[in-house]
Structures are given as structure tokens and as C-alpha cells.
A and B are shown apart, each in its own frame.
Chain A
Amino acid sequence: MRRRLKCKRRRGLRPLLHLRFRYAKARYMIKFQNITKIYPPNTVALNDVSFEVEPKEFVCLVGKSGAGKTTLLKLLLAEEKPTSGRIFFDDQDVQKIKSGHLPQLRRKIGAVFQDYKLLPSKTAYENIAYAMEVIGASDSEIARDVAEILDIVGLTERTHNFPVQLSGGEKQRVVIARALIHRPEVILADEPTGNLDPYHALDIIRLLLKINEFGTTIILSTHNKEIINSLGKRTITLHEGKMIRDEKIGRFIL
């Protein structure tokens, strides 16, 4: 029974992952250059952090809570501005993008927020569909893809529930579905397994790996030791706002 379910899931995944291979010209896709972020009056969230992410890479960010992982992702989404330093996305200086053009940047990024950020007045289905409505997908595409992704994250029965009616883990899976649905170039996953039981956590990590295989860049922030150690992917360790380690095959050391 379970195997059949998985088979179905895998089959379901295929049409969704038609991801393109068109980053060849840029050496890097995302570049953090001497990023410092100070929250007034004197909380240093990030201190001179620099690294690059290549296209199709899978990067893990680890660190204790408060190490600056979420801040880093917020800066990339241009939700906040760095105190100093520059961030490049596809050769574009993120801080120089005008407010009116930010949507174009954000549509290339699928973000899994730690605090979900689901629209409270929309159902699970509508929340996921919203990411597609925003890019102007047709109604038939939306109907097809959303039903499919709800099946992939195992929330078909929760289709018409509002966020308040969902458990933490269910909300988290809705957020993941919303981040994937519009086939972004990068997925920023901020603690995507934080509220999931080990079974679902593993499923989500497998899903991310699968998407990465098809060519989507993944930045995964987590403090789950087992996941990092079993993944064996590039790992950047942050400690009190400083980057203390950047290893090709990462282990969880704090």
C-alpha cells in the first residue's frame, strides 16, 4: 500500500519538474558580498558574510537559532536591506532593484518561511494557487498543478481548509507546496522540517533533493543534525552572525 502511494507520488512529480538548464553563462547564481546587518541599536545579525552559490547547487545553512540564517534569507528576498555589502542574484544587484520590479525577482524565488506566512483568509488550495495566479498562469494549469502538489505533500483532504484549521506540520507542507508550485529558480527553505515528524521530514528532504536533481538551486537552512549528516551536501556554518565554516561535504559541527 505504501509503495503504491509512493509510486503514485513519483509519477505525479514528473510534469511539475520540467526545469530549465539555462544558468550556464553566470559562474555563480547568488553572491553575498561582505554582508553586514545590524538591527538598531546594536544587534549584529550578520557580520561580514561572503559566499557564492552556483546554479543547481544544494547548500545547507546551519547554526544555532539567532545565528543569522533567517536574516540572510530575508536579505536575498529584499524583505530587508543589509547595513553594508551587496547581494547579487543572476548578476542583478538586489538592493538596487526598484520596489516596482521586486515582484519579478521574488517570482524566481520560492520561499519556505519559518513562520509560514500563509494568507489567513485563503484556503490551502487558494494559498498555493496564489503563487501561480501572481505569475499569470491559466486557470486550467492552476487546477492541474495545485491538485498535483497537494497530493505530493499529502494534503489532498485539507484542500479547502483555512490555515487556522491546519496543524503546524500541515501548514508547513502547504508553505512548501506554495514555494514549489511556480517552478522557481531557487528555493529558500527556512527550517522546512521544523514542525514535521521524522517521516514527513524525510519525505520533504527527498522532495527537495529530487527538485535539485532537476536543476533547481536549493538553500536549506536547518539545525537538524541528522539531515545535514545524511545529506552530505555543501554546508555553511554561521555562528553569531559570522561565517565560520564552508565545507563541500558538510557535517554538523557547532
Chain B
Amino acid sequence: MFTLIKRIFRSGWQSLTRNGGMIAANIFIMTMAISVITSLFLFKDVSQFLISSIQEKVDVSVYFKYETAEEDVLKVKEEINKIPEVKEVNYVPKEEALKRFTEKHGDNPILMESLAEVGINPFLASLGIKAFRAQQYEAVVSFLEKPQFNSLIEKIDYHERKPVIESIYSLTSNFDRAGIVFSIILALVAILVAFNTIRLSIYNSREEIKIQRLVGASNWFIRGPFLVQGAICGFFAALICLSLFALLTWGLNSKAEVLFPGLGLFGFFVSSFWLILLIQLLTGIILGIISSLIAVKRYLRV
């Protein structure tokens, strides 16, 4: 048994070194397939990040009447915090609103002049409310529209923002769904191409398989070397792929950072290094073994 396994491995390795060209082609195609699958994995993470960073920007503001006391506002804040759908509530006092305005429009003399004309701080205190999902804003707003708050609240900007909020949410969730479907199709295509390449290379060995059968080799003794070859190809393809991705994410890291602040491509790669390695090795080795298994089967009928 042990000698048999040893011979299978030796024979697999030997034909690997003797058919260099074909093996290189196999490794190349498998590298492509594994790259596609890995990039789908990374893409999922990146798109998740983008979606959540877009959703992060969505909120509803509640403006309080000018004469409302700060403790009343804080009380309302407490109340809102108790609603389970609310993710967070930010209190923006009048002074803070003024500061933000001057920071933003400090270089616009007309605006600054008119502000000085007014003489007092014209801004209202507000609460920025973030919910977990777009549909939940409706509930939060209806809670705030109760008569008990009527005397405190000047306006809620939900109704003017509603279409924007909803379209952002439907866009991002559609994007997510389309991404998954697209990924699956792409992965299937990549796997099929790799499978076909391996099948072609084994097609070249069909005479050899027939001879081995006629000389009295058992099916596993014939299959073994091909499986070993497939697994080794997959292993090397995975390693190539891994270094390729390390280089790529490292190189693109700064550029991606400029486009989407807070998105660390290389960071993603490093933090999920072991998972990526596992995915690549498994895809490569399983793809190689299963393709070889299926491809050899039809020539073993002699």
C-alpha cells in the first residue's frame, strides 16, 4: 500500500516535470480561476464597506424651536434613544451649528456679512438621528410627530429627504444582490474554463491510460498520478495567486485610499490573509483533483 502511494506520487511528479509546457498552461489557467474567485471575495468586502459608508451618510435631523431649553432637547434625545430602531442620536447645539456654518462658509463674504447683520446666533439646536435601515425612519418620525413634542419641535427634515434616502437604500441593496449573482456566474465560468483545460491535457494522455489498463494497472494506480498532478498544479496556482494579490493590493492601496477614504485594500488583505490563503488553496487543489478525476474517468473504460 505504502509503495503504491509512493509510486503514484513519484509518477505524478515525474510527468509534471516532463510535460512542463502543458503544466505551465494548466497552472496559468487555474491562476486565473483562483484570481477571479479571490477577487470576488475581496469585492464582497469592499462593496460591503462602500455600501455601509454610503448608508452612514444618511440621517434625519430634528430642529428644535429657538426658545427650547437645552435640557428639554436632551430629554427628547433620551426618549429617542429608547426606540429600538435608532442606531445613534447626535446632539448639535446652537453654538456648534454656528461654528460649522462659519467653518464651511467662512470665505464667502456675503453670507458672513448677512450673518453679522442678524447680530444673534440664528441657528437652531438639532438632533441627528440614524436608524439601522431606511424603512425605520418612518417609525422614528411618527414617534416625534406626537402632540407632546409639538411645542418643542420646529421641523423634521424627513419628508423632503425621504425620496433620496429610499433611493440610496434600494440602490445599495440592489447593487449587493446583483454583485452576488454576477459573482456566482463569473466563478462558474472560471471553474469551467479551468476544468476544460485540465480535461484537454488529459485527453492527450488517453492512449497512455489505455496502455496502462492493458498492462494490468488498477484504476487507482492510473488515476493517482493525474490527481497528484492536478493537486500540485492547484497548489502552485494558489501560491502564485496569493503573491499576485499581495502585490496588487499593496500597490493599489494608496490610490484606493484617495478615492474612498478609510478603505484599506492592503489592510483587508492582511487581516483576512489566512482566510484568503485557505480559499485559494482549497479552490486550487479541489478544482485540480476533481477535474482530473472526471477527465480520467472516461478513458478508463478499456
Contacts and interface: CB of A to CB of B under 8 A. Distances in A.
Interface of A: 77, 79, 99-100, 102-107, 109, 111, 113, 117-121, 130-131, 133-136, 138-139, 178
Given A102-B213, A121-B18, A121-B19, A134 B218 contact: yes
A94 to B, nearest CB: 14
B214 A106 contact: yes
Residue picked from B14, B211, B219, most chain A C-beta under 10 Å: B211
Nearest to A178: B215
Contact of A103 (B207, B211, B218): B218
Contacts of B212: 119, 130, 134
A134 B221 contact: yes
A103 B18 CA distance: 27
B216 A117 contact: no
Contacts of A103: 213, 216-219
Closest 9 pairs (CB-CB, A-B): A106-B216, A107-B216, A134-B217, A117-B211, A103-B218, A103-B216, A134-B216, A133-B7, A121-B18
Contacts, number: 55
A111 B216 CA distance: 10
Interface string B104-115: 000000000000
A79 B302 contact: yes
Interface of B: 3-4, 7, 14-15, 18-19, 207-208, 211-219, 221, 300-302
B14 to A, nearest CB: 8
A105 B215 CA distance: 10
B17 to A, nearest CB: 10
A79 B215 contact: no
15 contacts: A79-B214, A100-B219, A103-B216, A106-B213, A106-B216, A107-B216, A109-B216, A117-B211, A117-B214, A118-B211, A121-B14, A121-B208, A130-B212, A130-B215, A135-B216
